Structure 1
Amino acid sequence: MREILRAAFVIARRDFTAIIFSKSFILFLIGPLLPVVFGVVAGSLGDRMANDSMRPVVGVALSPGEGKALAAARERLVQHKGERGVTALKSYAEASNPQALLARKGQGIIAVLSGSLERPVLTGKGGDVDQLEGDVSLLVSIARAGTALPDTQIRTQIVAESSGSEQQSRLLTGRAAQVVLFMLTMLLAGMVLSNMVEEKTNKIIEVLAAAVPVDAIFLGKLMAMLAMSFVGIAVWSTTALVGYQMLSDSPLPIPEPAVGWPLFVMLGVLYFATAYTLLGSLFIGIGAQASTVREVQTISMPITMSQVMIFFFASYSVDRMGQTPELVAAAFPFSSPFAMIARAAQSDALMPHVMAVAWQLLWVAIIIRIGVRLFRRNVLKSGPGEKRPGLFSRALVSLRQIRT
Structure 2
Amino acid sequence: MMETIRAAFVIARRDFTAIIFSKSFFFFLLGPLFPVLVAIAAGGLGKQVNQDIGRPDFGVAMSTEESRQLVAAHIGLSKSLGDFANLVQLPDENPADTDFASRLNDAADKPLTLIISGTLDNPRITGPPGDLNRWKGRIGLLVQMAQARPTPVDVELDIVTSTGGATKRDRLITAQGGQAILILLTMILAGMVLSNLVEEKTNKIIEILAAAIPMDAIFLGKLFAMLAMALVGITVWASLGFIAIWSLGGQLSNLPVPAVGWPLFGILMIFYFSMAYLLLGSLFLGIGAMATTVREVQTLSMPVTMGQLLVFFIAFSSITKLGEPIEWFATIFPFSSPFAMIARAAQMDNVWQHGLALLWQGMFTLIIIRFSVMLFRRNVMKSGNSGRKRSLLARFRR
Is this a same-fold pair by TM over 0.5?
yes
Q: Which residue of 2 aligns with 1:338?
A: 339
Q: Which residue of 1 aligns with 2:92?
A: 94
Task: Choose which of 140, 145, 148 in structure 2 pairs with 1:137.
Answer: 140
Question: 1:43–1:176: 8 Å Cα contact kept in structure 2?
Answer: no
Question: Which segment drifts farther, 320-329 or 10-19?
Answer: 320-329
**Alpha-carbon spacing, 1:116–1:3, altered in 2? closer, same or farther (3 Å):** same
Query: For 1:4-403, what aligned pairs fall within 5 Å after superposition?
Result: 4-83=4-83, 86-95=84-93, 98-101=100-103, 104=106, 107-145=110-148, 152-251=153-252, 253-381=254-382, 384-386=387-389
- Aligned to 1:121, what secondary structure does the other structure show? strand
**Alpha-carbon spacing, 1:253–1:100, altered in 2? closer, same or farther (3 Å):** closer
**Alpha-carbon spacing, 1:62–1:103, altered in 2? closer, same or farther (3 Å):** closer
Bigger radius of gyration, 1 or 2?
A: 1
Q: TM-score, normalised by structure 2?
A: 0.92
Distance 1:384 1:349 in 2: 52
Distance 2:33 2:253 in 1: 20
Distance 2:2 2:41 in 1: 46
Q: Which residue of 2 aligns with 1:401?
A: none
- How big is the shift at 1:207? 0.5
Distance 2:102 2:261 in 1: 25
Distance 1:35 1:271 in 2: 20
Question: 1:314–1:335: 8 Å Cα contact kept in structure 2?
Answer: yes
- How big is the shift at 1:39? 3.0
May I ask how many residue pairs the two structures share in their alignment?
385
**Alpha-carbon spacing, 1:106–1:168, altered in 2? closer, same or farther (3 Å):** farther
- Aligned to 1:258, what secondary structure does the other structure show? coil
- How big is the shift at 1:244? 1.3
- How big is the shift at 1:101? 4.2
Q: TM-score, normalised by structure 1?
A: 0.90
Question: 2:144–2:151: 8 Å Cα contact kept in structure 1?
Answer: no
Question: 1:39–1:179: 8 Å Cα contact kept in structure 2?
Answer: no
**Alpha-carbon spacing, 1:388–1:239, altered in 2? closer, same or farther (3 Å):** closer
Question: 2:260–2:346: 8 Å Cα contact kept in structure 1?
Answer: yes
Question: 1:73–1:139: 8 Å Cα contact kept in structure 2?
Answer: yes
CA deviation digits over 1:259-290, x for unaligned, max 9?
11110000000000000000000011111211
Distance 2:302 2:254 in 1: 36
Matched letter for residue 95 of structure 1 = E
Question: 1:102–1:111: 8 Å Cα contact kept in structure 2?
Answer: no
- How big is the shift at 1:237? 0.5
Distance 2:42 2:348 in 1: 25
CA deviation digits over 1:44-92, x for unaligned, max 9?
4314542134312111111111111111111122233333xx2221111
- How big is the shift at 1:380? 1.1
Matched letter for residue 54 of structure 1 = G
- How big is the shift at 1:142? 1.5
Distance 2:152 2:267 in 1: 54
Distance 1:262 1:103 in 2: 29
Question: Which segment drifts farther, 273-282 or 51-60?
Answer: 51-60
- How big is the shift at 1:152? 3.2
Distance 1:239 1:151 in 2: 51
Matched letter for residue 14 of structure 2 = R
CA deviation digits over 1:20-64, x for unaligned, max 9?
111000100111111221332344431454213431211111111
Q: Which residue of 2 aligns with 1:400?
A: none
Distance 2:390 2:281 in 1: 36
**Alpha-carbon spacing, 1:101–1:39, altered in 2? closer, same or farther (3 Å):** farther
- How big is the shift at 1:117? 0.9
**Alpha-carbon spacing, 1:6–1:102, altered in 2? closer, same or farther (3 Å):** farther
Between the two proteins, what is the percent identity of the paired residues? Answer: 50
Distance 2:118 2:343 in 1: 37
Question: 2:227–2:278: 8 Å Cα contact kept in structure 1?
Answer: yes
- Aligned to 2:371, what secondary structure does the other structure show? helix
Distance 2:372 2:277 in 1: 16
Matched letter for residue 126 of structure 1 = P
Distance 2:40 2:343 in 1: 19
CA deviation digits over 1:171-198, x for unaligned, max 9?
1000000000000011000001110000
Matched letter for residue 63 of structure 2 = S
**Alpha-carbon spacing, 1:374–1:249, altered in 2? closer, same or farther (3 Å):** closer
Question: 1:102–1:110: 8 Å Cα contact kept in structure 2?
Answer: no
